[in-house]
Amino acid sequence: MKTLTQLLLIFLITTVLKAQENSKITNVTVYLDGAEINRTASITLKPGTKEFILNNLSPYIEESSIQVSGLQNTSILSINYGINYLSKQKQTDSIVKLNEDLKSLDDKIQYEHDLIAGYNEEISLIQNNKDLSNQTKVVSLEQLKNFAEYYRKRITELKKDIYKANKKIENYKQQQNDIRLQLAEFNIDEKVQTGEIKLKLNSKESVSLDLKITYNVKNAGWFPIYDLKADKINSPINLEYKAHIFQNTGCDWEDVNLVLSTSDPNTNNQKPIVNPKYLNFISPYSNYQSQRATRTYNYKYNPLVKTVTGVVTTSDDGLPLPGANVIEKGTTNGTQTDFDGRYSLKTTTGNTLVYSYVGMKTEELPIHSSIMNVAMDYDAQLDEVVITGYTSKKENRPNAGFVQTLSGQFTGLNINNTSGQPGANSLVQLRGVSSIRGNTEPLFIINGSPVDEGTFKSINENDIASINVLKDTQATSIYGNRGANGVVVITLKPNASKRVNELGITIDTGITNTRFEIDRNYTIPSNEDVTVIEIDKFSVPAKYDYFAAPILNENVFLTAKIGNWEQYSLLPAEANVYFEGSYSGKTNINPGATTDSLTISLGVDPNIVVKRTQRNDFKKTTFIGNNKIVFKAFDIEVRNNKKSDIVLTLIDRIPITQNRDIKLDDIEIGTSVYDKDKGILKWNLSLKSGETDKVEHSYSVKFPKGKRVNF
């Protein structure tokens, strides 16, 4: 009986090992946060119920994501995932080598200690036997000289040898310290457990199966980095799109087929439910805070960022916030902004920064870039509730090139240029649709799925198979109230979403994400190293302009404006800027903006000088009755020290009153274009080489005496 039991155990173990030997990761889809692993396993089943164990897997598998296919006529009785605390993760060759070097240095240190011990024994022996004379024998002077000379030389040699051995020990220990720092840089996880999946299968007949096991893992992801290269003004910008892939899942991805996806499976996909909000009186001493909508930053954690710098300002007027707290979430590591709102912080173990300031709403952002500028909103206290009625006009701004081609081609579809200028915003409307609600935007359906305005703008007209326009009951009968403003139904050609770029990478642009199918296999070890893959590149037409806002910063910035940027499917990320063959610094690309063009800062040009000064002859204060009147006037002087002509956009502002007791008057805007709703002044200046220009503006502020105003 015992022999039969042993044979059964040996058979089961053999079956388990065979399944594991043939288990291999073949395909990996890397998300912005996490990854999907596709593993194959070849097993042979005999009739009956068998249990197979796939071991040495990642300990970070999400159990609910495990799927098994390729079962043929067999059935799964159970799938269980667990942690094997007795199994050790395989260390990478580099880590194994470093640990071996540590042990080798230990042996060398011990050898030097042994030498020192021997030297000290010899010194002790010499010192204990230096008495040469006794009662019956007298040492001659010659013998004494010889011994003294030997004693001096030998003791000196031994102490030199001890010194050399101690120096070697010191050097070996320094090497060990460097190795430990390198191991710390690899962020070695002391946990050695591995994951394992147990499959219990039932088969009525003998069968060989090629199983496909799919599951999601944590501790992996990718983030984009861009290189922007411009040779000169008025030439296109070369944009290189690079993916930085990282994984510390506990399992190496060896020679796998790699796909990068812009999806994030960890994002909360539950649509919000808007319930009624009821106003009521509250205690002035209560700690009530108004609810704020969850913001869509789309930034993802970048593990390469070790130091973050930036400026913290107010969102309404862009003024710096000195003394704002910047804390690495979950740690005590933090700093405060200086007088100009600037900060610099070395990161440790956290992946989120928390920005806080008295009277402002706290902001939390993932550490996504080495430059993180934050604009904070005021946190208004509800001493009283003021309800203001307003209306908003929502404009649909499709891709000008694609949308204009639709005009006049489809019955009932109007494409209206809002200004009459080429490239201006366009409105998409359906003739005969009521606009009583003030919202005339139709519903867009692409391949059966509703899409937003941005997706509609990014369509390539060559990918369209057909367009149908539905109105009135024809639209609402199919799409309900969503189709009240009409429906534009677009059917794309087969495989229209896919293209192969010049790098050989297949890019599949779906409704909600983009996939980059890499054309060759990669090996990505489980460590803190980052694998860089160039996934796309563009030659982007751009309009160059110089920009200055001396009320906030007297530097002049070279900017490049890119139109129709939706077609490039970019993600928010940091960009390295190269201009005229030299590295110009870093900037951030934020495709999440609602503007029709994407403006990128290419750096500061010191050859253009801007100076903003307050005119002394206009700086005065008068009193009329119970009111105080302050007069302010400013001159802005611009000089072009470049060898070429330039066009400069100059921005300044006139304050806006938020209190009826504060009145602005005597507003002089000079030659600027004035947006009185925002108080923004704008000049477009053309300066020849060596030319100087000056603009001015002024205003007065009247307010009650005894009050202070935040000029």
Residue 672 to residue 683: CA distance in whole angstroms: 5
Residue 90 to residue 333: CA distance in whole angstroms: 33
Last residue of a domain, one of 499, 523, 541: 499
pLDDT at 436: 41
CATH number at 12 reads 2.60.120
CATH number at 348 reads 2.60.40.1120
Q: Flag whether the pTM goes above 0.95.
A: no
Q: What are the E-state strand segments in 377-509?
A: 413-417, 426-430, 443-446, 449-451, 464-470, 487-492, 498-500, 506-509
Query: In this structure, are 677 and 692 located in the same domain?
Result: yes
Answer yes or no: is 329 within a domain. Answer: yes
The 10 Å Cβ neighbour count of residue 578 is 20
Last residue of a domain, one of 464, 499, 534: 499
The 10 Å Cβ neighbour count of residue 61 is 23
* Residue percentage of the chain with pLDDT more than 70: 78
Residue 352 to residue 622: CA distance in whole angstroms: 51
Query: In this structure, are 471 and 356 located in the same domain?
Result: no
Mode of pairing for the β-strands spanning 498-500 and 426-430: unpaired
Using DSSP, state whether 581 is helix, strand or coil: coil
Q: Are the C-beta atoms of residues 505 and 537 closer than 8 Å to each other?
A: no
Last residue of a domain, one of 604, 622, 649: 604
Query: In this structure, are 545 and 568 located in the same domain?
Result: yes
Query: In this structure, are 326 and 243 located in the same domain?
Result: no
Answer yes or no: is 709 within a domain. Answer: no
Answer yes or no: is 465 within a domain. Answer: yes
pLDDT at 430: 56
Query: In this structure, are 116 and 51 located in the same domain?
Result: no
Query: In this structure, are 526 and 573 located in the same domain?
Result: yes
CATH number at 678 reads 2.60.40
The number of folded domains in the chain is: 6
pLDDT at 136: 57
Both structure tokens of 311? 């400026």
pLDDT at 415: 57
pLDDT at 349: 83
* Residue of 370, 354, 349 whose CA lies nearest to 528: 349
Query: In this structure, are 618 and 535 located in the same domain?
Result: no
pLDDT at 582: 83
Answer yes or no: is 579 within a domain. Answer: yes
Query: In this structure, are 371 and 437 located in the same domain?
Result: no
pLDDT (tens digit per residue) in 509-542? 877 788 999 988 999 988 778 899 999 988 888 8
With residue 633 as reference, give the H or E element that holds it. strand 627-640
What domain range includes position 115?
93-131+143-185
Answer yes or no: is 136 within a domain. Answer: no
pLDDT at 485: 82
Both structure tokens of 493? 């050609």
Query: In this structure, are 198 and 238 located in the same domain?
Result: no
Using DSSP, state whether 477 is helix, strand or coil: helix
Residue 112 to residue 105: CA distance in whole angstroms: 11
| Spans in the chain with pLDDT lower than 70 | 1-22, 87-92, 130-140, 185-192, 268-270, 281-297, 380-440, 449, 452-460, 462, 494-497, 592-596, 618-620
Answer yes or no: is 633 within a domain. Answer: yes
Answer yes or no: is 354 within a domain. Answer: yes
Residue 174 to residue 182: CA distance in whole angstroms: 12
Residue 114 to residue 644: CA distance in whole angstroms: 74
Indicate the residue type of 623: F
Query: In this structure, are 126 and 153 located in the same domain?
Result: yes
Residue 409 to residue 433: CA distance in whole angstroms: 18
Query: In this structure, are 178 and 112 located in the same domain?
Result: yes
Answer yes or no: is 450 within a domain. Answer: yes
Residue 242 to residue 253: CA distance in whole angstroms: 20
Burial class of residue 416 (count of CB atoms within 10 Å of its CB; 0-12, 13-18, 19+): exposed
Residue 479 to residue 471: CA distance in whole angstroms: 11
Indicate the residue type of 529: D
Query: In this structure, are 211 and 243 located in the same domain?
Result: no
